[in-house]
Chains A and B, each alone.
Chain A
Amino acid sequence: MRRFQIEVPSDPAFLRMVRTAVDTLCAMGGMEEDGRCMIVLAVDEACSNIIRHSYDGAADKRIICEGRLEEETVSFILRDFGKKVEPSRIQPRDLADLRPGGLGVHFMRKVMDSVEFEDCGAAGTCLTMRKRLPANRGG
């Protein structure tokens, strides 16, 4: 297994750093650019949601992002220490309802094979997202 772990502040200016790490790990797994872009989007949306909802926009809190590349799957685990999120309340919105915002969870669920929110003890939430690697990948 190949893995990385980075910690970034909950400052949107650091989202690019997370995107670069995610893209790099997916490329190591032999994924083509089209597929990588979508996984990068899903992880980026998850981080944005942490900043927006768990930390109410505070830019000085902790986000830990771990990426794991295994034989058949790539997975990303995001840990925050903010407000607890009730997993059953995290639902994508109806796309027919045209309004700004609320698309992040839809993107995450559409792109990844699994999206699981877990209670992480005293504070915060753990989010694990997995994607099966394509069979015809290069690398």
Chain B
Amino acid sequence: MQIETKVMGKATLVQVSGEVDMSNSPEVRDTLLGLAKKKVPAILVDLGGVTYMDSSGIATLVEGLQETLGYGGKFRLASLTPKVKQVFDLARLTDVFEIFSDLASAQEGL
């Protein structure tokens, strides 16, 4: 799993790739909660390179969402692969997150 962050205007982009499971989701959590602690205005999580995600990855995103909304920030997901979308569907979380088909549309309105 690889994770990279970069500032894109008002948003902070978090690009995750590879397999997200119990062994590395704490790394994603540290990144997201670190940004939330700084109260960045918006977090965009690009999941386009994620080939597998388990419930610990989902839980990490839920935590990131809750922390960000807690201070009035925005938390958006972009480019879910079909495999990851399947897991979101299973958890019935597709209506809970703001999910965009690509990064460009996720940046609109920020």
Task: Tell me which residues from 1 to 35 in chain A have a Cβ below 8 Å from any Cβ of chain B.
Answer: 11-13, 15-16, 19, 34
- B8 sits at the interface (CB 8 A): no
Which residues of A sit under 8 angstroms from B83, Cβ to Cβ? 37
A70 to B108, CA, bound (A): 51
- By secondary structure, the B interface counts as helix
Which listed residue (B23, B55, B96) contacts A103, Cβ 8 A? Answer: B55
Q: How many residues of B contact A (CB 8 A)?
A: 22
**A: interface residue count bin:** 20 to 34
| Contact indicator A100/B22 (Cβ below 8 Å) | no
Which listed residue (A34, A44, A103, A107) contacts B21, Cβ 8 A? Answer: A44
Q: Which of chain A's residues has its CB closest to B23's CB? A: A12
- By secondary structure, the A interface counts as helix
| Nearest CB on B from A73, distance (A) | 21
| Contact indicator B22/A98 (Cβ below 8 Å) | no
Q: Mark A78-109, 1 if CB is under 8 A from B, else 0.
A: 00000000000000000100111111101100
Which listed residue (B19, B52, B55, B60) contacts A45, Cβ 8 A? Answer: B55
Which residues of B sit under 8 angstroms from A34, Cβ to Cβ? 82, 86
